[in-house]
């Protein structure tokens, strides 16, 4: 999850979305975009196991802070790859180098699992799996150069998607689905330092957007999960998501409401932020929405323990994992 200073920068967007095409194709926001199928049928909740999702979150935090280039990061990468291979044989690892804010060369890995690889119609599901090297939002100044566990900011989204992958291995989706775990999302400059490079956040999604795991990759739409595990979390209709993928935002929020999760997926529209989905939308032109915790009571507008040492496994709530996981999984199964 990106630094408060950078995150608070509104994108220079006029939030107008024109969506008139009914075909499934990737087009920029300046052209017609495909409309998602209307949800007219009775919605049957997909089977999702919150206990399993929680275990997947905890497995990640048990490695310790998964900071890019660290031993914990390398061990977790192996575990993620092997875990995905339990659910699909179609697993790829993108190994690449990227320059961090201070010039450090990071050795990064995006980890990708695909389902129904031959299907033309595809859905992208993604999250980042690295954790922040600096607790630069911690109330204790002495902690602000310590790495964080990132239980909510990173591990929660990955845990939900691993459980979704497990469910796909039991009941295959009709469409093609690609689950992408991005590395190097959170290795941006600390709040009190100036970056030496441009776009020093979201390194994994930038690389994948320019170099997808399949040449000329396209998908009907994408869903990014970021900080989806805290108790009583609220997910608003974030501005970048509404600009690029408004119809899909409204569809997901409608499904969540029908499943009884309207208290999590609220109808408020909030300011645009820069996150992994920004680069996917702009560079890959896959209309992608961000399910991300919004808290108007905090200065950052994010989860209260965002980029602090308090972002640990004690803050993860199974009911929230259930609300997000079942909503996303049901959305995928409803696509024909």
Q: Which domains does the chain have, with CATH numbers?
A: 4-11+36-334 (3.40.630.10)
User: 48: Cβ–Cβ under 8 A, 6 or more apart, which residues?
Assistant: 163, 164, 167, 322, 325, 326, 329
User: 235: Cβ–Cβ under 8 A, 6 or more apart, which residues?
Assistant: 228, 264, 265, 266, 291, 292, 293, 294, 324
Residue by residue, pLDDT tens for the chain (336 residues) are 554 434 444 343 333 333 333 346 433 454 345 566 566 567 999 999 999 999 999 999 999 999 999 999 999 999 999 999 999 999 999 999 999 999 999 999 999 999 999 999 999 999 999 999 999 999 999 999 999 999 999 999 999 999 999 999 999 999 999 999 999 999 999 988 999 899 999 999 999 999 999 999 999 999 999 999 999 999 999 999 999 999 999 999 999 999 999 999 999 999 999 999 999 999 999 999 999 999 999 999 999 999 999 999 999 999 999 999 999 999 999 998
Is residue 133 within 8 A of residue 147, CB to CB? The reply is: yes
CA within 13 Å, CB half, 43:
24
User: 194: Cβ–Cβ under 8 A, 6 or more apart, which residues?
Assistant: none
Q: Return the pLDDT at 16.
A: 32
Q: Which of 330, 310, 1 is nearest to 139 (CA)?
A: 310
Strand, coil or helix: what is 220?
coil
pTM of the model: 0.91
Q: Return the pLDDT at 336.
A: 87
Is residue 48 within 8 A of residue 325, CB to CB? The reply is: yes
- The number of helix segments (H) and strand segments (E) in the chain equals 8, 8
CA within 13 Å, CB half, 113:
24
Is residue 225 within 8 A of residue 171, CB to CB? The reply is: no
Which tokens hold the place of 164? 């979704």
Q: What angle do CA 90, 96, 101 make, to 5 degrees?
A: 135
- 128: exposed, middle or buried (C-beta count within 10 Å: 0-12, 13-18, 19+)? buried
């Amino acid at each position: 999850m990106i630094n408060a200073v950078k995150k608070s920068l509104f994108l220079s967007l006029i939030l107008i979305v024109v969506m008139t095409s009914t075909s499934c194709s990737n087009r920029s926001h300046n052209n017609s975009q495909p409309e998602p199928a209307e949800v007219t049928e009775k919605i049957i909740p997909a089977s999702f196991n919150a206990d399993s999702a929680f275990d997947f979150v905890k497995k990640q935090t048990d490695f310790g802070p998964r900071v890019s280039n660290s031993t914990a990061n390398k061990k977790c990468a192996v575990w993620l790859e092997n875990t995905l291979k339990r659910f699909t044989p179609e697993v790829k690892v993108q190994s690449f180098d990227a320059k961090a804010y201070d010039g450090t060369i990071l050795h990064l890995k995006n980890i990708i699992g695909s389902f129904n690889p031959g299907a033309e119609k595809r859905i992208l599901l993604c999250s980042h799996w690295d954790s922040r090297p600096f607790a630069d939002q911690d109330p204790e100044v002495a902690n602000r150069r310590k790495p964080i566990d990132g239980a909510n900011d990173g591990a929660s989204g990955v845990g939900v998607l691993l459980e979704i992958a497990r469910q796909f291995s039991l009941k295959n989706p009709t469409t093609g689905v690609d689950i992408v775990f991005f590395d190097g999302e959170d290795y941006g400059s600390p709040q009190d330092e100036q970056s030496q490079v441009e776009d020093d956040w979201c390194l994994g999604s930038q690389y994948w957007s320019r170099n997808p795991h399949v040449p000329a990759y396209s998908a009907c739409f994408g869903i990014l999960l970021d900080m989806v595990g805290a108790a009583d979390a609220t997910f608003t209709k974030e501005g970048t998501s509404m600009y690029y993928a408004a119809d899909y935002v409204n569809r997901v929020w409608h499904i969540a409401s029908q499943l009884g999760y309207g208290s999590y997926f609220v109808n408020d529209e909030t300011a645009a932020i820069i996150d992994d989905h920004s680069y996917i939308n702009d560079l890959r032109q896959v209309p992608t929405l961000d399910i991300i915790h919004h808290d108007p009571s905090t200065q950052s507008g994010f989860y209260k323990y965002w980029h602090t040492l308090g972002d640990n496994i004690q803050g993860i709530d199974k009911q929230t994992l259930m609300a997000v996981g079942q909503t996303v999984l049901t959305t995928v199964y409803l696509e024909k």
